[in-house]
Structure 1
Amino acid sequence: MDETLRRLQAGEQQVARVAQEVLGRLPQQVEAALAGASGDVRTSVGEAARTAQSAALDEVRRALAQHSTAMRDALSLDRDGPVQALRRDVLEQVHASRQELGEQLTQMRALLQAAEAHKAASAKSTRAIGLEWENQAMAIADEVITAAGDRFEPTGSTPAPGGTSRAGDGIATLCAPIAHGRPVRIVVEAKRRSKPLTARQLREELNRSRNLRQAAAGLVLVPTSDEVPGGGRWARVDDASWVVAADDPTVVSLCYLILREMTALLTVRQDDGDEIDLAKVEAHLKWAMSALTELDEVGRLATSAERNLNQLKVVGAGVQKKIRDALTNGLAALHT
């Protein structure tokens, strides 16, 4: 804006100089034209020319001054005019854009804060659910292990020996008669996932816990059979690692009893000095495993039968409704 005003002023000054030069040459031109006239005539004409020159210069100056004033008023930011109106419109648009951008940033910030709060709440809720299940599972394990005559110790908040890892939620130490005086341990894990772990993942989890807790075997307790690999009540993910659905304490107890016997057998087999009929023990364990498999199959069939029974109830209700509607329509037809 200042540069425009400077250019306008320079143009006005240039116009004034040209006008002054033209009017300044007017007396000489008039005298040249009247060279042959008398002195009085030249004097009178010269005076008239100078008067006209002065008046013309004054008029040019006034016109230029008015023009300058008008241009300054038009370009001024302090007076009403097109430039001021343009400036006001631009400022209003900039203000509106800033306000809109500020509102959008505020909304985005609120959304981010809500997302962070939801994430934190979800994480907290997930941890709370996991901790709640761990407490329930360890209570079940304590009851089952203690009933078998073994000693149970919750270790979920205790680092494993020689490190800081808290893998292994509980430790079952077999009683002396079955362990033949050896420190035989079974690590117990509580797992609950929205997406069930695979057999491979469970095996890796148990192997890590067994190594850290110096345990010979491992047992994972999950809430329902939906999280057991294969969909049964229990599953073996390797020779000394089992997964059991804890919603049936009887199955948990049977699986633990068989696992402890197998673990003790494997431990005894490593010591050639023990005088024990391993073949007889293995035969009993195989029979128990077979019975447990049959029990699991019974559970599967019962679940399937329950689903079929529910389906039969639904179909039966539909058939009853159809019969009732047919009889009602028939009676209505007889009375019409």
Structure 2
Amino acid sequence: MKFLKIVSAIALLGMAGASQASMIIADGNVALGVGDLGQLNVEGGNADIAGTTGVGLRYISDGVEYESTFHGCECEGWGVAAGGTSGFANNALGTAGLSLVSFDSTATTATSITTMGGLLQITHNFALAAETDHLFRVAVTIENISGADIANLLYRRTFDWDASPTPFNEFVTIGGTAGASAVLGANDNGFCSSNPLEICSPQAGNSGDFTAAGPDDIGSNFDFDFGALLTGETFTFEIFYGGAANRNAALSALASVGAEVYSFGWSGLDADQDGFGDANGEITPTFIFGFAGVGGTVIIDPDDPVDVPAPASLLLFATGFLALIARRKRYAKL
């Protein structure tokens, strides 16, 4: 079965073409179609189980491909803003304010460097996550090139879930936002402009953290405020894209890379998110969209309940150590 996954990934790469304006990058389980400005959704892949050949975010299982963003609206995109000026890239909902510096790619990596109005330089560096074969990691580095301090650095990422095998009819979960200090807001609207200066209201009434909204044609929009960025300084955070067989496998993948905030999208056929359609047993993967470095708490692996995120682990260790010292002092007085 692993052979089939590799063959499928090679086929995707072969169809991506020679153009460096965009690239389909893949491993055995996940493929991304990366545009030159760092947005997703690229023409030229294999037909997935629902028939689309465009590639945004795909999960590959035993040679069968499941697309999650290219059906219908190619709405995955991002934007950045500072001092009342913004730049954004979204195939369907508009691109403005960004200038391409360079786009480079290999079979498994892509790097987009853009600038926004002489204020910011933004690098999106896509590569396979070393910890799991279910995720691509995107290191996003934003540099203040303006010559003056920036009071508030804003970033938005917009994502319309259209999860195969039932695009336009999916469940969506958003988690981790309540405890993430950099999150300004999150909701179920994947059809918002990717401009951080425009208001994005919930599409079906779901905002903040919510579980299994739908089934409906909904998505996820995340707004971040990363605070001040002094002149010449850089700020880096991470985005994760991928897929897994079911909810627990998806959470395990996110836990392995230290993700703090996430969205899941999966077929409306699978209410319990176990990876199979409730009526006929169709394969219904969970698609993954996550963030790290946004001031939140690391997700805990559901299959390892004793696993505690690093800060909590240190706190438990320190508490236990201090208790041991106090106990020894008490015994010494007896």
TM-score interval w.r.t. the shorter chain?
A: under 0.3
Q: TM-score, normalised by structure 1?
A: 0.23
Q: TM-score, normalised by structure 2?
A: 0.23
CA radius of gyration, larger in:
1
More strand by share: 2
